[in-house]
Chains A and B, each alone.
Chain A
Amino acid sequence: DSGVTQTPKHLITATGQRVTLRCSPRSGDLSVYWYQQSLDQGLQFLIQYYNGEERAKGNILERFSAQQFPDLHSELNLSSLELGDSALYFCASSGYGPGQDHYNEQFFGPGTRLTVL
């Protein structure tokens, strides 16, 4: 158990819909990363938050957005869903922060499997 929790575990929805994926980082970790794993694209970085602020963006579509709340949990919002959005979405957390070891291990959650029908 990595200490990172993600809900829900599975999500089945229809095209055009909007869903929210939730991630709770390990206790004390300020940094949260979101990754998408699909058969076509492999594992791709989407976005990172550090202590409530967006820190970096990767291959994240404009239809997707995220935020990190004061209690450090994060949500990834996916809207106007398309068939191609079906994937496994991972959240990872690390203790990265100013003054800390910048290659702190990222601990991954079990993922949310999204199926768009």
Chain B
Amino acid sequence: AQSVTQLGSHVSVSEGALVLLRCNYSSSVPPYLFWYVQYPNQGLQLLLKYTSAATLVKGINGFEAEFKKSETSFHLTKPSAHMSDAAEYFCAVILSGAGSYQLTFGKGTKLSVIP
């Protein structure tokens, strides 16, 4: 079965500092990987996705992630944190089979940005 593990349930960074949120996956086949963001009292918004094309994926709001097969990782980064980045971030993988493509999510990482 495919799954994702997010390291660190809570990450704090200073405004302007590098954001690094970690995600490792386990999959027996090439996965489709996603990062979603959830702002307080809102739904989930897709930040970026990896679908076996370029290994470095650029998303919205200045975020990017790199797929590293050798490390089974898909870490999310942003060079300079902004106060508006404070939210919860979820890594997810497509669990495919029998024509369904539901998402399997990690536990989430809550990002705090310190002014």
Residues of A within 8 A of B (CB): 2, 4, 33, 35, 42-45, 48, 50, 55-56, 58, 90, 92, 94, 96, 102-103, 105-106, 108-111
Cβ contact within 8 Å between A103 and B43? no
- Cβ of B87 to closest chain A Cβ, rounded Å: 14
Binary CB contact string for chain B from 35 to 73 against chain A (1 if under 8 A, 0 otherwise) = 010000011111001010000000000000000000000
| Known A-B contacts A43-B90, A43-B108; A103 and B46 likewise in contact (beta carbons under 8 Å) | no
Cβ contact within 8 Å between B49 and A45? no
Contact with A108, one of B45, B106, B108 (Cβ below 8 angstroms): B45
| Docked CA distance A102–B43 (Å) | 22
Cβ contact within 8 Å between B51 and A103? yes
User: Is residue B26 within 8 Å, beta carbon to beta carbon, of the partner chain?
Assistant: no
**Which chain B residue shows the least CB distance to A2?**
B43
| Known A-B contacts A108-B43, A108-B45; A102 and B101 likewise in contact (beta carbons under 8 Å) | yes
Which of B43, B105, B108 is the most central at the interface, judged by chain A CB atoms within 10 Å of its CB?
Answer: B43
Report whether over half of chain A's contact residues are helix, strand or loop; otherwise say mixed. strand
Within 8 A of A (CB), among B75-115: 90, 94-96, 98-108
Name the B residues within 8 Å of A56 (CB-CB).
Answer: 98-100, 102
- Cβ of A48 to closest chain B Cβ, rounded Å: 5
**Which chain A residue shows the least CB distance to B90?**
A43
- Cβ of A104 to closest chain B Cβ, rounded Å: 8
| Docked CA distance A105–B79 (Å) | 25
| Docked CA distance A38–B43 (Å) | 14
Name the A residues within 8 Å of B98 (CB-CB).
Answer: 55-56
| Docked CA distance A83–B94 (Å) | 30
Name the B residues within 8 Å of A108 (CB-CB).
Answer: 36, 43-45
**Which chain B residue shows the least CB distance to A54?**
B100
Q: Which 10 A-B pairs have the closest CB atoms?
A: A56-B100, A43-B105, A108-B43, A45-B102, A108-B44, A110-B43, A103-B32, A55-B100, A42-B107, A103-B51
